[in-house]
Amino acid sequence: MKTIGLIGGMSWESSLDYYRILNELIKEKLGGLSSAQCLLYSVDFKPIEQWMHNNKWNEIANHLTIIAQKLEQAGADFILICTNTMHKLFAQIQANLQIPIYHIADTAASKIKELGLKKVGLLGTMFTMEEDFYKIRLQDKHQIEVIIPNQEERKEVDRIIFDELVLGKITDPAREIYKKIIINLQKNGAEGVILGCTEIPLLIKPDDSTIPVFDTTQLHAEFAIEKALKD
């Protein structure tokens, strides 16, 4: 079994799910007392969140690169960045490693293409929804058209992530807001919706939508286990 390196803590609420899913999948595939061989570096999210909102992305890139290098030195065979937004820095971090980072958007794209979908909605932080780093990868590498909610809806999606979900606060009113936004994305042609923030699957489940939802936490972890068990 290969060793999975995890950069977590952004937030620890979703990193907990990564650890759980990885171990459940290994147990399911190998049985008995088998569990996932992994290294988790869980960051202090507070300064990173402050850097994000002060547009200090170079500071974040440098910080996460050092962490990724520590995981590499500790024996990780590959790395998962356990958050969608930080894939904005994917290329900068990857350039300083000898081992691969597996991009979370690619794992979502594989499932979307498996279902034969061509146009999907994207929910995430304001950075993920409004900047191009995520959408362009899906469009250029995977030929998947991406649409996002309107401005007021984007503000609500982002507010709920930072004011509630990263703090472990899961509420019915927030769920109803997201469900309405998903309905509007469907009206605008979305055939499915990417839950493009690893906290959103804590709130939104498949039964909350009449179109497929793509849980990036689950899909990223599933991909990692495939790689970890591949000869």
User: Could you give the CA distance from residue 219 to residue 201 in angstroms, rounded to a whole number?
Assistant: 11
> Nearest to residue 200, comparing CAs of 148, 125, 133?
125
Known catalytic residues are 83, 197
126, two tokens: 């304001």
CA atoms within 13 A on the CB side of 96: 16
Burial label, 164 (beta-carbon count in 10 A; 0-12, 13-18, 19+): middle
Nearest 10 degrees: Cα torsion 67, 94, 225, 10:
50
Which position has the token pair 């008995």? 32
Which position has the token pair 């390196």? 5
User: Could you give the CA distance from residue 180 to residue 193 in angstroms, rounded to a whole number?
Assistant: 13
Burial label, 186 (beta-carbon count in 10 A; 0-12, 13-18, 19+): middle
User: Could you give the CA distance from residue 185 to residue 204 in angstroms, rounded to a whole number?
Assistant: 15
